[in-house]
Amino acid sequence: MAVALMAVPLEAYESAPDPFVLTDSRGRVRMINAAAGRLLECDPQHVLGRRCWGVVGLHTSDGVPICRRDCNVRRRLAGNLPCVRQRGVRTSSSGRNQRVDVFTLKVEATSRSWGVLHMFVPVKKDDAPSTPRLPVPGSVGLRGLELLTRREREILRALAAGESTNDIAAGLFISVATVRNHIRSILSKLEVGSRLEAVLIWLSQFR
């Protein structure tokens, strides 16, 4: 499932204080806001149409490129993951390394095409959790979050961090079936039909 970008005016992403980059299904940059331009040290207008791996330029701490032509983010998003998180390093023009978490969501750019929304969160500590602030519509209710149990909130937080069902089960020392039961309960309480919609509601509280 792809979340519709049309529910949020594109201007909301362009003017957001956090870095956002929107690419099409072939990895071409369609929108990059000013915050992302500052982070990636580029002129947003000059990189439109370029491939994202040539703009973002993340690599591992060992220097192995993360952003490359054969990036597996699209393949992972095509599965059951509502969100994919990658932690990497961005090297500035001055040679300074900055650790960054990149959250990616599959989005419906128009009624006939889809793309990938990249959200960047600078990492201050290796073990510190990070969460992007998504400019979701005000009509998306947060009251359903109050109905979630502590365990359900843990699982929803893990989904928003890009963890799979198996990852969550292993991390919480519970069975995969139990995780799925919790997810069904989460969707019911939030009155949504997919994990992606639940993740969007979770992220919306960090606006």
Per-10-residue mean pLDDT of the chain, 207 residues long, equals: 51 79 86 91 92 89 85 70 81 88 75 74 72 59 82 91 88 95 92 79 68
**Whole-number pLDDT of residue 2:** 46
Please give the structure tokens belonging to residue 14: 């362009």
* CA distances, 76 to each of 65, 105, 145 (Å): 18, 10, 27
Q: Which of 195, 191, 201 has its CA nearest to residue 106?
A: 195
- The dotted CATH code for 3-122 is 3.30.450.20
Are 76 and 84 in contact by the 8 Å Cβ rule? The answer is: yes
Query: Can you read off the two tokens belonging to residue 22?
Result: 């929107």
Domains of the chain, residue spans = 3-122, 143-204
pTM for the whole structure: 0.69
The correct CATH number of 143-204 out of 3.40.640.10, 3.75.10.10, 3.40.50.920, 1.10.10.10 is 1.10.10.10
pLDDT of residue 143: 75
Which pLDDT value is given to residue 207? 45
Asked if residues 56 and 47 have their Cβ atoms less than 8 Å apart, the reply is no
Domains 3-122 and 143-204 share a fold: no
And the tokens for 110? 């128009």
Supply the pLDDT for residue 172: 95
Q: Which residue has the tokens 């020392």?
A: 173
Q: Which helix (H) or strand (E) holds 73?
A: helix 73-77
Query: Rounded to the nearest 5°, which phi and psi values hold at 85?
Result: -115, 135
